[in-house]
């Protein structure tokens, strides 16, 4: 769009229009003749060597759009930049929204997912253990308060007591919050 647009080429037809809208001030812009075009240059105009034309209210020649940024192309490069930003941001924003809704509908959090991933890895490496149930309840060495399937990691097998701890499995990892209900979903809104 911007590369095919007229950035404000100075022609014999529009020369007077550019001279009426922008006056020569005698300081910044003095009446000069373009050496290449051999015509009087309007104020704030410049000859672009890449386009080989004089451009009214010349800013620069942009290699990204292969055109000059002049009086008529002042907003289009901004739109091109905004469009590029939106193109690159939109997929990540959509992914983030989908991910957040999947967490909501699963009734879990990123923290809980990361913990479960860590525990699965520890089970696979056979370093995650759970307390052996005694009379249907898990207790910490039969001394401490009752716990519901307490999990612990042991990097070395000689650090744990085999009569108290047994290898954990995937069914030991239960998230009590994953049961989906309409009330839990509304909690996020």
> 132 and 166 in contact (C-beta within 8 Å)?
yes
Label the pairing between strands 128-131 and 146-147: unpaired
Q: pLDDT over 70 for what percent of the chain?
A: 72
Are 128 and 168 a contacting pair, CB within 8 Å?
yes
Confidence of residue 98 (pLDDT cuts 50, 70, 90): very high
Task: Tell me the per-residue pLDDT of 168-184, one tens digit each, with 9 for 90 and over.
Answer: 777 777 766 666 666 66
CA–CA separation, 76 vs 10, rounded Å?
Answer: 19
Look-up of token digits 């909690």: 187
Contact 100, 92 (CB under 8 A): no
The predicted structure's pLDDT at residue 105: 81
Q: Is the pLDDT of residue 7 over 80?
A: no
Is residue 43 within 8 Å of residue 29, measured between CB atoms?
yes
Report d(CA 135, CA 18) in Å as an integer. 95
Give percent of the chain with pLDDT exceeding 90.
Answer: 9
What residues are annotated to the active site? 62
CA distance 157 to 59: 72
| Confidence at residue 148, expressed as pLDDT on a 0 to 100 scale | 47
Output Rg (C-alpha) for the chain, integer angstroms.
36
**DSSP character string of 150-167:** -EEE-SSGGGS-TTTEEE
pLDDT at residue 91, as a whole number: 95
User: How does 69-102 read in b/e, with b if 16+ C-beta sit within 10 Å?
Assistant: bbbbbeebbeebeeeeeeeeeeeeeeeeeeeeee
């Amino acid at each position: 769009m911007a590369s095919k647009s007229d950035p404000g080429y100075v022609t014999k037809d529009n020369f007077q229009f550019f001279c009426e809208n922008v006056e020569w001030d005698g300081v910044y812009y003095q009446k000069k003749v373009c050496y290449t075009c051999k015509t009087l240059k309007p104020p704030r105009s410049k000859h672009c060597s890449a386009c080989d034309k004089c451009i009214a209210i010349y800013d620069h020649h942009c290699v990204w759009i292969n055109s000059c940024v002049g009086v008529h192309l002042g907003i289009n490069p901004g739109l091109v930049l905004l469009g590029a930003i939106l193109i690159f941001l939109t997929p990540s924003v959509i992914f983030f929204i989908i991910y957040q809704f999947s967490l909501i509908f699963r009734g879990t959090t990123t923290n809980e997912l990361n913990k479960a991933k860590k525990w699965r890895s520890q089970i696979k490496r056979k370093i995650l253990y759970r307390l052996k149930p005694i009379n249907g309840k898990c207790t910490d060495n039969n001394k401490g308060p009752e716990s519901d399937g307490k999990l612990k990691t042991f990097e070395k097998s000689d650090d744990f007591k085999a009569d108290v701890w047994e290898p954990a499995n995937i069914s030991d990892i239960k998230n009590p919050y994953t049961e989906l209900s309409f009330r839990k979903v509304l909690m996020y809104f």
